[in-house]
Structure formats: structure tokens, C-alpha cells
Amino acid sequence: MHRSALGCALALVLTAASPAHADEPLIGTLRKVTGLWSESEEGEIRRKIAQAREQIDTAIVLGNAFLANNQPTEARFDVFAEAGAGLDERAASGAGTIGAVFAVRSERCDLLQAGLSIRGDLRSKDPNATGGAQQWLQICLSGGLGLDTLMELDAPGLTLFPLVLRESALVLARPRLTGPRASIDEDYSDIGYGFDVEGARYLWAKDRGIGFAGFTADQRYRWRHWYGGESAKVEISGSVWFVRLLRTRGELALADRFIDILAFGFHGIQADNGAAIVNAWPVRFYGIGLFGTDRVLVDADLGVGGTGTVGSETNGPGVHEMITIGTSGLPDVTIAVAHVALHSGDVRRSLSVSYDRTVDTNILADVITEDRFTISGQFTDATWIAHGAAFVSRAHYFIDEGLGAEERVAGATFTGSYALPQQLSLGLTLEGVLGISARDPMLDGHALPRGLRAFATLSTTRTLWKL
């Protein structure tokens, strides 16, 4: 079997550039010279070569069809560096980051983006802190396959399989204090991959259309602290919608509009006990314009979510992996989930008010329900960039079958930058969380801490190559 496979590979490589009628004498000559396969195995090798050629031809046709709808406009290679210092929960902290990004851009998104950054940390509260790293790769073919290119059909506006593929790895990343309460306050490392795909999209106008069968999925392998520090936990997340009505707006608009009909979401952590969350929405509304303008937008969705079971199946050359994550050791939790928001302004100046009711899980396989009210705003011009938000949150943690606790907190966050000469930028990051009620000791190690982080940075980005 191994000799046959090796012979097939050798024959395919040496005949790939040869015309089909030349295969027979060349394969026969190779068999006699190398002795890697017998005359009786020759027919099987020819069949495998024909299959490989068909797959290569199909890949070339599909690649050309994708590129026809996703034309590159620019390629560039950038490097960046940042150094900063500040306070981290009443302790002195410093960090330095260097990295690089290569991108091939199109009108819709980056067709290809690959990046790497390395971070060094200094923390007086944690003398063992060393830093971390991040790597990412994304391929965006949001234009999909054009049927006029693929099948020579006159079908303007109809595309198949708009697609985004991604992969990333993190080493010793840290959650934000003001993040969702399903995060935990410790460094973590992970590696994973994912994709977004639609079955079909039809645009009856330049900015309006309908999509069918959208699916988003990510699978990650997570470690607390360093890679290999313990057995990796498998994390699966994603969403499905069956019909999407969409409208794209101009570059200055806060958001595009879309309406999802019959949507589902899922998130699971495979731990010792395991936890899985499933959400369902009959309809979701995002970016609905009010008063005949794109400057006042509304989001609204109402659904149901709770504990359940999620699964993932991976198939590939020599790989078949089936993962099923159920909820065990926890009570059954079912709640109404919601997102309601009002936005005013554009990407330069805006103000938003929102309410979110969610149910989620974390790397410890806890189940967390949260109600959060948020007010946020942003300001951008040629010199200044500023984003700020304040929130009030009530969260309930289900840690074990008969064990739970509640916390109430308020918080605020601000990020800003000011452009300096010589392609430099001065930045400031502030985030703080304080308790509205006393914290249950049961939440130590499970919930994000309360405290303040303040960090000032000096950064620069340089383009080394551009086409």
C-alpha cells in the first residue's frame, strides 16, 4: 500500500506537465526503472492520477471564479511598535509590543491578512510576568462566487458562498476588566480556526439584497496561562441564520442594516463537567433607520437561551474528529435573551444606549446570566480618536448543581489617541469597575475583579512596502 501511494505521487509529479497521451509510456517506464509498484497496480495509480487532475482543475476553476468577484486593490506590509506604562489594579505596570502585518486589500475587505505581534510585560504585582504573543491569518472572499464566471450564466447580483476563513493563536492574553462577566481574570493561551459562509446572496440593487443559509463557527483549544499547562479545553462557538435581508450603507454610516429570520447561536466549553449554551431568535433586527435617516439606528432582538448540548465534526485528509459538549453538574438554566439599542450619529461622532440580557459560559464551565445597561460614544477627526462607555451590570453565576452567587457592578472605559508628528501617536486607556453590592467570596477566581487600570502609550506604524 505504501509503495503504491509513493508510486502514485511520483508518477503524478513527473506527469503533471505532460499531455494525457504521454502518461502510459512514462508511467510504464517509471515502473520498470524504480520498481516501486507492480504492473497489476498500474491501473489503480492511473485512476488516482486522473482523480487528482480533476481536483486540481476544479480548484483552478473555483479560484478564478472567486477572484473574479474579489479583485485586489492594494498590497502592503506594515510594521508597528508600542511602549507604555501605567497602573494595573493599584500596581505599577509596563509593556512593549512590536509586530508586523501583511495585507492584500479589496473594496469590501482584506482578501488576505497575516500578522504577528510580540509583547513584553512588567508588573510589580506579578514579578513572573514576561509577556505574550499573537498571530493571525484571515482570508476574506466576501464577494463570493459569481455564477456568470462559474457557469457562464446571465445572473447579475447572484453570488454563491461569500466566505471568510480565519486562524489565530494567543499566548498569555488578558481579558479586560470591563468585558462580559463571563470572562475570568487570568492569563490564557489558545489556538483556533473558524469561518463565516453564506449559501447564496442576491442583490436586486447595489445596496439591497437577501442572503440564504448563513453559518459562523469557531473552534478553539484553550489553556489557562501557558500552552500545555494543563489539558486543553475545547471551545466551540457560532451562529446560524436561515434568511437575511440586508442593506449596505455608505462609509460614514454607523452600521449596515440586516434582518435575520430564524437564527440560532451556540457556545460550549469541554471541561471536566462541561457547559453548553444554545440561543434561538425568531427574528433579529440590526441597524434599522428611523425618521428617514441613516443617522438614527435601532437594534432589537428577543429570543430564548439556556443550557443544552452542542457538537462539532471535523473532516479532512486523515482527520475525523467528533466533539460533543453537554452540560453536566449544573442546573438547567433557561432565560429570555435580548439586545435593544439606539444609535445616533455617524462613524465620526456618535452616541449609543443599549440593554443586553445574555446567558453564556466560561473556561471554567460556569453558566453566567447578565443584564447590562450601557451608554457609549465616540469622536474621531484627523487628530483625535476617542471612545468611551459606562455600564451597570447584574450577573448571576451558576458554579455547581446547588452553588450560585450574584454580583452587581458598575464600570467605565475610555480609549483615546492623539496624532503626533513623525507618524507617532500618543494613546490613553482607562478602565475601571466598582461594586454596587458586596462581593460573594464564592466568586473569587470565577468573576472578573474590581479595580482600575490606566495605561499611557506611545506608538507608531510604518509602511515598508506598498503596491
Q: In one letter, which amino acid is 167?
A: E
Taken in order 167, 172, 173, 175, is the CA torsion positive or negative?
positive
Nearest to 253 by CA among 202, 306, 295, 190: 295
Residue 154's pLDDT is: 59
Average pLDDT, whole number, for the chain? 84
Q: DSSP secondary-structure letter at 346? A: -
Residue 214's pLDDT is: 94
C-alpha cell at 100: 508586523
C-alpha cell at 370: 447578565
Q: Is the pLDDT of residue 310 over 60?
A: yes
Q: How confident is the model at residue 380 (pLDDT cuts 50, 70, 90)?
A: very high
Q: Is the pLDDT of residue 33 over 70?
A: no
Distance CA 314, CA 322 (A): 6
Q: How confident is the model at residue 198 (pLDDT cuts 50, 70, 90)?
A: very high
Per-residue buried b or exposed e for 223-242, using 16+ beta carbons within 10 Å of the residue's own CB: beeeeeeeebbbbbbbbbbe
Mean pLDDT of 389-402: 90
Whether residue 81 contacts residue 460, with contact meaning beta carbons closer than 8 Å, is answered with yes
Residue 399's pLDDT is: 87
Whether residue 97 contacts residue 117, with contact meaning beta carbons closer than 8 Å, is answered with yes
Residue with cell 450574584: 406
Q: Where are the beta strands (DSSP E) in 327-402?
A: 334-345, 349-361, 367-380, 384-400
In DSSP terms, which residues pair with 431 in a beta bridge? 413, 453
Q: How confident is the model at residue 315 (pLDDT cuts 50, 70, 90)?
A: low
Q: Assign 3-class secondary structure to 257-268.
A: EEEEEEEEEEEE
Q: How confident is the model at residue 71 (pLDDT cuts 50, 70, 90)?
A: confident
Q: Is the pLDDT of residue 75 over 70?
A: yes
C-alpha cell at 43: 491501473
Residue with cell 440586516: 258
C-alpha cell at 31: 515502473
Q: How confident is the model at residue 62 (pLDDT cuts 50, 70, 90)?
A: confident
Q: Is the pLDDT of residue 151 over 70?
A: no
Whether residue 172 contacts residue 134, with contact meaning beta carbons closer than 8 Å, is answered with no
Residue 282's pLDDT is: 96
Helical ranges in 361-442 per DSSP H: none
What is the full DSSP assignment across 89-143? TTEEEEEEEEEEEEEEE-SSSEEEEEEEEEEEEEETT-TT--EEEEEEEEEEETT
203 vs 13, higher pLDDT? 203
Percent of the chain clearing pLDDT 90 (strictly above): 47
Mean pLDDT of 309-333: 74
Residue 20's pLDDT is: 44
C-alpha cell at 190: 489558545
Q: Is the pLDDT of residue 26 over 80?
A: no
Percent of the chain clearing pLDDT 70 (strictly above): 86
Whether residue 278 contacts residue 266, with contact meaning beta carbons closer than 8 Å, is answered with yes
Mean pLDDT of 206-216: 92
Residues 6 or more apart in contact with residue 298 via CB below 8 angstroms: 285, 287, 288, 290, 341, 342, 343
Read off φ and ψ for residue 436, nearest 5 degrees: -90, -30
Nearest to 297 by CA among 247, 336, 370: 247
Q: What is the chain's Cα-based Rg?
A: 26
Whether residue 280 contacts residue 260, with contact meaning beta carbons closer than 8 Å, is answered with no
Q: DSSP secondary-structure letter at 248? A: -
Q: How confident is the model at residue 58 (pLDDT cuts 50, 70, 90)?
A: confident
Distance CA 318, CA 296 (A): 52
Tell me the per-residue pLDDT of 400-448, one tens digit each, with 9 for 90 and over. 877 788 999 999 999 999 999 989 999 999 999 999 988 888 888 888 8
Nearest to 448 by CA among 129, 93, 124, 179: 179
Q: How confident is the model at residue 17 (pLDDT cuts 50, 70, 90)?
A: very low
Query: Of 233-242, 311-320, 328-337, which gets the smallest average pLDDT?
Result: 311-320
Long-range contacts of 46-51 (CB under 8 A, 24+ apart): 48/8, 48/12, 49/8, 49/11, 49/12, 49/15, 49/23
Mean pLDDT of 176-196: 85
